[in-house]
A and B are shown apart, each in its own frame.
Chain A
Amino acid sequence: KNEVEQSPQNLTAQEGEFITINCSYSVGISALHWLQQHPGGGIVSLFMLSSGKKKHGRLIATINIQEKHSSLHITASHPRDSAVYICAVITGNQFYFGTGTSLTVIP
């Protein structure tokens, strides 16, 4: 069993839809990262969370430490949001990565 599980694995949405990607983990963590990987391979760090909620533009990330669960929300989705979204957790010096959620937003 992977330490980090993401769902869904693949997601197709119409432009403008509200999108939620979920991440569950089984280890105690110091922090959780949400990463975005574009089709060309480049990776951008979207959020680093250790508690609560963060918002950046149309993106919102939440984490529930007790339930070991985090969600990434995209409001008013746009085709440029199409990418793979990766959840990663850090515990001590160990890094665990989810396998990613592939998001396609259709115009």
Chain B
Amino acid sequence: SQTIHQWPATLVQPVGSPLSLECTVEGTSNPNLYWYRQAAGRGLQLLFYSVGIGQISSEVPQNLSASRPQDRQFILSSKKLLLSDSGFYLCAWSRGSIGTQYFGPGTRLLVL
């Protein structure tokens, strides 16, 4: 069976500090991978998606970047966090672009 892991579960970081959130998927190969953010009281926003190693598409201009160094590893990064980067970050995977998406447990990020 397939599983998706995210860590850390919770993170508190000062403004201007770097960020690295990791997502890994087990039990499948060549998944589509996604990073979403949900700001407090707001809906989901797709940040990045990847259809393969080294292939990243960005949906919105922002302070964040994503990388896919391995088939089942997706990393969300920032060089300098902003207060507005606070939120709930979710990683998801799917088979193909329109398949069912399976979500990780999420990371709560608070930037102070």
Contact = CB atoms under 8 A, between A and B. Distances in A.
Interface stretch (A18-26, A58-66, A72-80, A95-103): A95-103
A100 B39 CA distance: 13
6 contacts: A43-B92, A44-B103, A90-B97, A94-B59, A95-B59, A97-B44
Given A30-B97, A35-B44, A97-B46, 12 more contacts: A35-B103, A43-B92, A43-B106, A45-B100, A45-B102, A86-B43, A88-B44, A90-B97, A90-B98, A97-B43, A99-B43, A100-B43
Interface of B: 38, 42-46, 49, 57, 59, 88, 90, 92, 97-103, 105-106, 108
A102 B40 CA distance: 14
Interface of A: 30-31, 33, 35, 41-45, 48, 50, 86, 88, 90, 93-95, 97-100
A1 B57 CA distance: 25
Given A41-B108, A43-B90, A90-B97, A98 B102 contact: no
A28 to B, nearest CB: 13
Which secondary structure characterizes the binding site on chain B?
A: strand
A41 B88 contact: yes
A43 B59 CA distance: 20
A40 B108 CA distance: 10
Contacts of A31: 98
A73 B57 CA distance: 34
Q: For the complex, would chain A's binding face be called helix, strand, loop or mixed by DSSP majority?
A: strand
A43 B97 contact: no
Contacts of B100: 33, 45, 48
Contacts of B92: 43
A30 B96 CA distance: 12
A45 B27 CA distance: 18
A93 B49 contact: yes
Contact of B98 (A35, A42, A44, A48): A48
